[in-house]
Structure 1
Amino acid sequence: MRSIWKEIKLSSVLLLLAGSALLAFGLYNVHSISNVTEGGILGLTLLLEHWFGISPSFSGFLLTALCYFLGWKILGKRFLVFSFISAIGFSVFYGIFEQFDPLFPQIGEMPFLAAVVGALFVGISVGICVRVGGAPTGDDALAMSLSSVLPVDIQWIYLASDLVVLFISLSYIPLNKILYSLLTVLLSGQIIGIIQKIRLPASLGMADIY
């Protein structure tokens, strides 16, 4: 593990933290107040927050940790280190954002806008983290692991897990808003898939892991 730390570039760490901060910002300021949820672990954390009052800063980290073992076995120690950085970053940043009132409270009345803006936050932020080689949430770890062993693009793996959580989310989110949620997971998954295919200079620390 010590040799792995020596290989990590500062640019990689900064990108992971930037992606985690953007993800926490979007989840708190858009998804959590609009009921336009994400699928996967992100959507599950919002479901737990709604029914049990459990903060995503806690549940997100715990559920992600449960998925790390699979990623470590398939993708190796580098994945584990990068995921640890991004997951800790997400929890810390979400905890910080919770200390302030949401910046866009009116977005809760505009579900279409929330769906699109939320998709941009999640797609770009998660896309950055996954492109570097880290998983800020458990569904990212699962998608990265499965996409490395299955002949399926990562965006379709995201979609499958998202649909399961969205179905469960019907327990507290009206059907019309679930349709907006379906829009946001479709868009965010495609954005993540696009970012994975962008060729960038190696100096940025972006890893070609697939």
Structure 2
Amino acid sequence: MTHPARDLLRTTTAALAPDPEANPVVPRIAAGTAPRATLAALALEQTWVIPADRRAFEHLAVRSEATDPEAAAFFTTLAQGEALAGERLVAFARACGAEEASYEPLPGAQAYPAYVAWLALNAAPANAVLALTANFSAWGGYCAAIATALREHYGLSDEACAFFDFFAEPSPDLDRLAEGAVRAAVDTGRLDERRARMYGRLLQHYEASFWSALSGTMSH
């Protein structure tokens, strides 16, 4: 018999899935019609997002270590993943000719990591696990589409695409850790499903804000 945690992760992810037509940027990249300035802006925004999310996940891991070790293992793995992604981002930024020194980040694009930081300070760890796991599904799909397009339409190397390859690949270990954390919270009555879904809904809105902000670079 399937544990409720697995069903909860599946149904929450499905309920929070964004409208695939709502993203104004990824389809343009997938078609090869987004300008390279948009790719550069994507790289530069991620140079702000990735380290911020890594520190937020590290904080969540520390917060949950004593009382919620399953969640702590999930957040530790997330933080390690962000560190690896940050290393891979360098080659993409270089391939796009991104110039960090003169770049001003877009407020709409930085709402997502700001909210992740809010979760790190305020959310019960298990609720954050459920919300983040639901959100990651959409992000992975976007990265898969971008990775393919960068090779086919923009001539980028495997090294330059590695950042998107990393997020596009399924992560059975992370899925297992997420299920373990949600399972432990369900079994002990520590999961607030309504609040977790609210967090997930806000994450999806802030991710939509990220892509909406980037869409402004396509008219330049």
- The one of the two structures with greater contact order (alpha-carbon pairs below 8 A, sep at least 6) is 2
Q: TM-score, normalised by structure 2?
A: 0.31
Larger Rg: 2
- TM-score, normalised on structure 1? 0.32
